[in-house]
Structure 1
Amino acid sequence: MVWCLLLLTAGFAVFLFQWLPRRIIRPRRRLINLDPGDLGFAFEASTLLTDDGLHLATYYVPATGPARGNLLILHGKDSARELYLEYLPQLVPYGYNVLLIDARAHGRSQGTYTTFGYREWADVVAGVRRLRYLATGLPTGVFGHSMGGAVALQAMARSPEIDFGIVESAFTHLGDITHAYACRQSGLDLPRPVIDCLLDRADHIAGFEHRRVEPLRAASRVRQPVLVIHGAEDRNIDVDQGRQLYAALGSRQKELFIVPGAGHNDITEVGGDFYFRRLRAFLDEVTAVH
């Protein structure tokens, strides 16, 4: 009996401090055999070189008519750029050049671990510079979903090269969202100090500082126009986190769009045409002033 308890304790310790930290920072790769051409759009597939030497996979899709702005689209954790192809018919014919990017350690991009914005914010700035090179003289912004939204806030707080942002289903603190995730994975109500130890272990493995990943604090330093979107029924990241991010924004021009009945990953499905009209209304407004 004692040996069984010891084995169970050892097994749980391995799960908690070896498997779980790696699961948090090592995304599932999704390789999807689709591209913008499957939707009838001309595109350029290329790679983007990061400051630390990684090649990130991208699709550049130019506007099909007179261009009015550029938009970089950032997906969430365990996702891929192909899952955001549905945005192309809602943006490209309306004058927006779009750059879809696989985040580091996702899809067809290089890298092993994600750092939730600690390094990714610089990748975003590199993507914005690529867009400005491909389509010069146009206002350039970012759209980010979930982790992508958290990364977008951190990038906007650091770089004036980003003119505007759309932040969807994003979290306020990495520690809070990790606590919720670890409790779901373990089936236990884990104490917060355990989560801090877990994240310290993740820091050591991936070489980053989780305490510096604070989208809420970043939001207070953002001055660009921002549209915050959140599903009212989001069970992964509670809608209150979206409201907190909106309230914290230092932007003079900011909007909050709560999508009734939507969860974390079904906002476009639930919001439908109204969602995309609201998205374009914001884009049209922030690109018209340039």
Structure 2
Amino acid sequence: MKKSKKRRILIIIAAVLFVLVVGLGFASNYMFNYAFVREDKSFIKSGSSQALKKDQAWLKKYPKQIWYEQSAQGKLKLEAAFVPAAKQTNKTIVVFHGYTKNKEHMADYIRMFHNNGYNVLAPDARASGASEGKIIGYGWPDHYDDLLWIKRLIKKTGKSNAQIGLFGVSMGGATVMFLAGEKLPRQVKVLIEDCGYSSINSELSYQLNQMFHLPSFPLIPSVNLETRLRGGYNFNDGDSIAQLKKNKLPILFIHGSKDTFVPTKMVYDNYQATSAPKQLLVVKGASHAGSFEKKRIKYQKTVVNFLNKYLP
């Protein structure tokens, strides 16, 4: 083969590789903005049920304290609402909201815990609600912030006798499982997660296939690189199964049987990952984050009984 022909082939190959790299760069930038940048997400259902609106109106009027904290990494100002129980108690449930939501979206759960005699602390995750931030953390950088909220709560409610439960829905459920793998203060006694994913990577890969019919490689690794550069964290670290393997606390897993946003299969993977005392509730016919609304009485009874068992 003549040198000129070889040179032309190499130029063509180089040009094709350049186009592929540039195309991947544009695609990963689009996906990063689509999934990680704080803004309204068209693929997320908006609106609230009448029951939630009623609970939000209650939460707005109920006397509460607004707390502020600085993020664990960086200098983001974070906000949380502390809703004291009607009767003084040392028992508090910390509730974590879902993707693109905020503490007000947790009003029905806050009221459920309040009605059962608990204090409630409801933080806004970074890039959510009243908290600062432009990049959504999917629960991983947020769980480091939540360790600060927990320490703040212990100081508030009494270091010696404080008893704390952690509860989260969707991204908040994943946050609870991420926390399960950390060295938590001894005052944290029990964990409850509702429809959290088995890892950030697996959830993004699933959604990429569901929404765009694309394989995870090479786009997911490329998006992760952009997340590390622009968001300051590696979302591969956000692995619920890996964290649950280190968990020693009793944990209740909840999921809807018709969940197509965080597929129901993930709750079985999460449940199998921990050897700690555990319980599983799969609500028949419930969609994503819809288990409470679908079966309110059963949901509340299961949650309260679990808390009564481990918050004596």
| TM-score when normalising by structure 2 | 0.81
Q: Which residue of 1 aligns with 2:230?
A: 205
Q: Which residue of 1 aligns with 2:31?
A: 20
1:156 maps to 180
Aligned partner of 2:252 in structure 1 is 227
Quickly say closer, same or farther: Cα 1:38–1:245, change in 2 above 3 A: closer
* Structure-2 residue corresponding to 1:127: 149
Cα distance, 1:14 vs structure 2: 6.3
Aligned-pair Cα RMSD in Å: 2.5
Alignment of 1:189 onto 2:214: yes
Q: CA deviation at 1:128?
A: 1.1
Give the share of equivalent positions with the same residue, in percent.
20
Given that 2:208 and 2:216 are in contact with CA atoms closer than 8 Å, whether structure 1 keeps it comes out as no
Residue 248 in 1 paired to residue 277 in 2? no
Over 3 Å off, 4+ runs: 9-15, 27-30, 32-40
Contact 2:192-2:251 within 8 A present in 1 as well: yes
- AA paired with 1:171? Y
Q: Distance in 2 between matches of 1:39 and 1:191?
A: 42
CA distance in structure 1 between the aligned counterparts of 2:40 and 2:80, rounded to whole angstroms: 15
Q: Secondary structure at the match of 1:71?
A: strand
Q: Distance in 2 between matches of 1:145 and 1:265?
A: 7
User: Is contact 2:25–2:222 with CA below 8 Å preserved after alignment?
Assistant: no
Q: For 1:118 and 1:92, how far apart are their aligned partners in 2?
A: 27
For residue 63 of structure 2, the aligned residue among 32, 39, 42 is: 42
Report deviation, 1:68. Answer: 5.3
Larger Rg: 2
List alignment gaps of at least 5 residues for structure 2.
Answer: 1-19, 42-46, 48-52
1:39: Cα distance to partner? 5.9
Are the counterparts in 2 of residues 48 and 55 from structure 1 also a CA contact under 8 Å?
yes
Structure 1 runs not aligned, ≥5 long: 1-8
Equivalenced residue count is 278
**Closer, same or farther in 2 for the Cα pair 1:108/1:193, shift >3 Å?**
same
Q: Report the secondary structure of 1:238's partner residue.
A: coil
Shift of 1:144: 1.2
Amino acid at match of 1:76: G
Match of 2:120 among 94, 98, 109: 98
Contact map agreement 2:209 2:216 (CA 8 A) in 1: no
| Higher alpha-carbon deviation: 189-198 or 210-219 | 189-198
How much does 1:38 deviate? 4.5
Deviation (angstroms), 1:122 = 1.3
Q: Which residue identity lines up with residue 120 of structure 2 in the other structure?
A: V
TM-fit CA distance, 1:160: 2.4
> Which residue of structure 2 aligns with residue 4 of structure 1?
none
- Residue range with higher mean Cα deviation, 42-51 or 236-245: 42-51
Q: Summarize the Cα distance change of 1:191–1:42 in structure 2 as closer, same or farther, 3 Å threshold.
A: closer
- The 10-residue stretch of structure 1 (72-81 or 198-207) with the greater mean CA deviation from structure 2: 198-207
Structure-1 separation of matches of 2:56 and 2:292: 19
2:44 corresponds to which residue?
Answer: none
Match of 2:102 among 77, 80, 85: 80
Letter in 2 for 1:73: V
Q: Aligned to 1:277, what secondary structure does the other structure show?
A: helix
Q: Cα gap change, 1:50/1:265 in structure 2, threshold over 3 Å: closer, same or farther?
A: same
> What amino acid does structure 2 have at the position aligned with 1:125?
L
Per-residue deviation, 1:118: 3.3
Q: State the partner residue of 2:289.
A: 265
TM-score by length of 1: 0.87
